Amino acid sequence: MLITLYSTQGCHLCEQAYSLLVEMGVQHQVSIVDIAFDDALFSRYGVTIPVLSISNHDDHTISKPELHWPFDRNRIAAWLITNELG
């Protein structure tokens, strides 16, 4: 499983979200996707980033509920446990 952080350059909230993931020691499982380069992603996440999702390594399909900002370490930890990553 792979944690995807939907983000864009210059997003201070996205930087905070990534810092939380680093603090939790899961940064090696994180793929950062810049929504600015994909019209569909920008349309979906443009006003809601940062957003975390969990996808399958093989096909990158989203198979678990997303976690939308605002979130903190406790919410991320609960989300990971709920989605069998914690």
Task: Identify the pLDDT of residue 51.
Answer: 97
- The pLDDT of residue 84 is 74
CATH of domain 2-83: 3.40.30.10
pLDDT at 86: 56
23-27, 28-32, 54-58, 77-81: the lowest-pLDDT one? 54-58
H-helix or E-strand containing 14?
helix 12-23
- How far apart, in whole angstroms, are the C-alpha atoms of residue 81 and residue 13? 23
Q: Where are the domains of the chain?
A: 2-83
Return d(Cα 44, Cα 35) in angstroms, integer. 9
Dump pLDDT digits (tens) for 41-73.
999 999 999 999 987 655 555 557 899 999 999
Task: Identify the helix (H) or strand (E) that includes residue 71.
Answer: none
The percentage of residues in the chain with a pLDDT greater than 90, rounded to a whole number, is 78
